[in-house]
Amino acid sequence: MRNPTVQIPGSAIGDALGIGWILKDIGGARLVGHDGSTNGQEASLSFLPEQDWALALMTNASPGGLMLNRVARQRVLTACTGMVEKDPEPVTASPETLAADAGEYRARGMRCHVAVDQSGGLIFTLHNDPELLAMMFENDEVPPAQPTTLHAGLVGGEPDRYVFASGPARGLTGYFVRDGDGRVRALHLFGRRLPPLGE
């Protein structure tokens, strides 16, 4: 179950998938785990089989719990094992380079508009899926959905990979999938695949 079955380099959730487990390499060791979330809840289970180390984290705060769990795991990991899990640093790029990434992306439960920030980064505006909200509040009035805006930069030396630079998602990564002509075929965001709108 801990052997990689699918490679997902640059994903927010890890480097590869096993069977039910998300795998990530840290300093030559394999971190195994699985995180999950729902409205207002964030949970994280991580372990290093070779180090006999495990950590379970649960919060009832969202989206702040996402960052809290990440920071807590990094600190406990370092305190217990001496291993350091580092977030990549965002770098700036020209608006011309970033223009290919701009657009609308959508999958069930999530819609994202990516725009170019003229200061050299990307602006992600996240919207809840109206169909999903209608299902969740089937017998009640659907509350107005407020979009979330996050700023990201590209990861140095990896032009298809981005990292959030601030806010509750700071340090989380994702990537763009391109075809042979360099066109974006999908946005990987928080472990989900969002194709361009209309595809």
User: Which two three-digit tokens encode residue 35?
Assistant: 């995180």
Question: 196 pLDDT exceeds 60?
Answer: yes
For 81-122, the pLDDT digits (tens) are 999 988 888 999 999 999 999 999 998 778 899 999 999 999
User: Which two three-digit tokens encode residue 118?
Assistant: 């003229």
Percent of the chain scored above 90 by pLDDT? 45
Q: Where are the alpha helices (DSSP H) in the chain?
A: 64-81, 95-98, 130-136
User: Which two three-digit tokens encode residue 70?
Assistant: 């990440």
Question: 6 pLDDT exceeds 90?
Answer: no
Q: Contact 55/76 with Cβ under 8 angstroms?
A: yes
User: Which two three-digit tokens encode residue 132?
Assistant: 């999903």
Question: 165 pLDDT exceeds 60?
Answer: yes
For 34-77, the pLDDT digits (tens) are 988 777 788 999 999 988 999 999 998 766 777 888 889 999 99
Mean of pLDDT over the chain: 86
Q: What are the structural domain ranges in the chain?
A: 6-81, 90-194
